[in-house]
Amino acid sequence: MRLLYVSMVLSFIWQATSAPAQLSSVFKDAKPVLAYSPAERAAAFQDLMHLPSQPRLGAPVSVTPNAPYALDGTRLYFWKPSFLIGTPSGGEAGINFWGLHNEGHVNISFTAGSAKSYALDCRVLSNGPITHKFFGDSREASISQGDTNLDKNHLLLVVPTSTVGASVLVEMWPSPTTAVVGFLGCDLSPILP
């Protein structure tokens, strides 16, 4: 039993010490995906929503593998990740790395304010689309589901909300479910009227 425990600890230490190579082991040109400035984010959502002018976005709430909890209760968590590593740039998470297709998810949960929808901008490395599902207060009834391609390694989603104070959950996973994903963090902003 002790040998199993020691080997598990050594495995985690080895993975942590080789952290910079994790994302680049699959994504050969992996570079940090920079967070958008407020103007860049507004321009990206203007293109996404096909608007004649930039939407007004409220102040973003950021969550990363290093800081998965925000002061307003927004939360980032993972289901079956291959690794979670803290880095100076905000942390990294991997799904389906090392040929271990564990079909992991990335999840963001938050409480809806008065905005009717929110702009979710996640920094992701993937060679294919990301499937997403939005849930409201009832975990059994999804609000919507779809597949979205990355735009310059940013997954941009408009998340609908039902009522003020409603709990909202966004689940994201690779398509197909065995594809490899590198995850770096998200910014969530209310879309203001």
pLDDT of the residue at 53: 97
Q: Does 3 fall in a domain? A: no
pLDDT of the residue at 163: 83
pLDDT of the residue at 1: 52
Q: How many domains does the chain have?
A: 1
pLDDT of the residue at 3: 46
Q: Which of 171, 176, 182 is nearest to 132 (CA)?
A: 171
Regions of the chain with pLDDT less than 50: 3-20
**What is the span of the domain harbouring residue 29?**
22-192
Q: Does 164 fall in a domain? A: yes
Taking the alpha carbons at both ends of the chain, their separation in whole angstroms is 59
Q: What is the CATH number of the domain that holds 83?
A: 2.60.120
Q: Does 14 fall in a domain? A: no
Q: Does 133 fall in a domain? A: yes
Cβ-in-10-Å burial (0-12, 13-18, 19+) of 189 comes to buried
pLDDT of the residue at 15: 43
Q: Does 37 fall in a domain? A: yes
Q: Which residues contact 128 (CB under 8 A, 6 or more apart)?
A: 149, 174, 175, 176, 179
pLDDT of the residue at 6: 39
Q: Is 43 within 8 Å of 52 (Cβ atoms)?
A: no
Q: Does 110 fall in a domain? A: yes
Instruction: Using a pLDDT cut of 90, give the percent of the chain over it.
Output: 60
Q: What is the pLDDT of residues 77-131, one digit of tens each?
A: 999 999 888 888 888 999 998 888 788 999 999 999 999 999 999 999 998 999 9
Q: Does 92 fall in a domain? A: yes
Q: What angle do CA 75, 119, 161 make, to 5 degrees?
A: 75
Q: Does 166 fall in a domain? A: yes
